[in-house]
Amino acid sequence: MLGLLKRFRDLLLVAALLVVPLAVFFAHAKRPTERSKLDRAVVSLTAPVERGVAWVVGSALEGWRGYVSLRGVRERAVELSRRVNELELGRLEMERLEKENDRLRKLLGFAEREGDLELVGARVVGVRLDPKGLQLVTVDRGADDGLQRMMPVVAPEGVVGRVHAVTRHTADVLLLVDRNSSVAARVERSRARANVRGLGDPYTCRLDYALRSDDLVEDDVLVTSGTDGVFPRGLPVGKVRNLKKQGQGLYQKADVAPAVDVTKLEEVLVVVGGGDRRADPEPEPAAPVPSAAQGAKPAAPVPSAAQAAKPAVPVPSAPQPAKPAAAAPSAPQPAKRAAPVPSAPQAANPASAAAGEVP
């Protein structure tokens, strides 16, 4: 028996290694047992390996992601940067369109308010606010669109200027702030009459011919009186600033802050017709009498509303000296102006005659 066991020892051992685990399996299969201390000790041996592998793999992956895989990142960054720039441009374009939409809405609102005027919308395509020359902006409407010289140009905020020169497709607008511009105005609150003249400064005009006795206070709103034959009445011109009431003299002095910031103009409206409100309801001053000093033809009377489109007073280009017979003298020389006959109380105020003239 012992010899038999010795002879088949290996075989029996292998068989035991097969049978015992199988018996253990069947014994525990229906009733699982907890791990023994030995089991737990053996399993715990794997923890350092797993942690080590996790650390190695994690570090390797981190290194890969942090360095090796960054190989095309620069190109991607450039691409993304380009895309960001495109989107930013798109956003700016949308903002611009939104603002333009707001402005056009205001223009539309103005056009609807001034329903009796024939208006042509125009876009500012050029700006020439050169202190050495005229304060002009160029708009994208011209003679083909019905624009003519001396036509008033307005914005929702108020008076912009008037058409100075036209080509077929564009027109130059002489701004209110130009030294050669002058608008007959009225204080909205007290209805006192005056004249607003540009100084060549985009932010300031001068108030001329405001009688010392007139009711005028700081921040009074000036509107067009319509007596210059160019602008419809009632359009905002600006606000009175730096009012100085002197103890002597006929007039009080003041600056005017223009209602329209001409440095931010983008769209304007050109009044090409209509405007039965141009004439002020008050009586027109009598025809001017020629000045003896000038000895020439009298200064052109203020044209009627119907004549506004073709004013009697031509507007030569600024640098050229005007012929005294055809044009009224420039504003800084009011003494040479043909004095209107004071047939009416308001006629003593030369504002209505001086307005709307360019040397």
Partner 1 sequence: MRAILFILLALALAALQAASLRWVGGGAFSLALPLVVVVHLGLTAPSVEGAVTAAGVGYVVDLMTGGPKGLMTFLAVGLYLFSRLAGASVDVNGRAGFAVLTTLGVFLFGAATLGMIGLVSPAEVAPAGRLLGRVGTEAVATGLASVFLQPLLRRIDRFFTREDPGMLR
Interacting residues toward partner 1 by CB under 8 A? 9-11, 13-14, 17-18, 20-30, 32-33, 35, 39, 42-43, 45-47, 49-50, 52-54, 57, 61
Q: How far is the CB of 19 from partner 1 (least distance, A)?
A: 8
DSSP character at residue 226: S
Centre a 10 Å sphere on the Cβ of residue 259 and count the other Cβ atoms it contains. Answer: 21
Return the number of the residue (24 or 125) whose C-beta is nearest partner 1. Answer: 24
Return the half-sphere exposure (C-beta side, CA atoms, 13 A cut-off) of residue 276. Answer: 2
Strands 267-274, 117-129: pairing kind: antiparallel
Q: How far is the CB of 46 from partner 1 (least distance, A)?
A: 4
Q: How far is the CB of 98 from partner 1 (least distance, A)?
A: 49
Strands 182-187, 171-175: pairing kind: unpaired
Rounded CA separation 309/278 (Å): 11
Return the structure tokens found at 55.
Answer: 């650390």
The angle formed by the CA atoms of residues 213, 215 and 221, to the nearest 5 degrees, is 140
DSSP character at residue 280: -
Q: How far is the CB of 4 from partner 1 (least distance, A)?
A: 17
Return the number of the residue (45 or 335) whose C-beta is nearest partner 1. Answer: 45
Return the structure tokens found at 247.
Answer: 């103890």
What is the residue whose two structure tokens read 């609807």?
112
Return the half-sphere exposure (C-beta side, CA atoms, 13 A cut-off) of residue 22. Answer: 6
Q: How far is the CB of 58 from partner 1 (least distance, A)?
A: 8
CA 336, distance to chain mean position in Å, is 41
Return the number of the residue (57 or 80) whose C-beta is nearest partner 1. Answer: 57
Return the number of the residue (24 or 89) whose C-beta is nearest partner 1. Answer: 24
Return the number of the residue (21 or 63) whose C-beta is nearest partner 1. Answer: 21
Return the number of the residue (17 or 325) whose C-beta is nearest partner 1. Answer: 17
Q: How far is the CB of 62 from partner 1 (least distance, A)?
A: 12
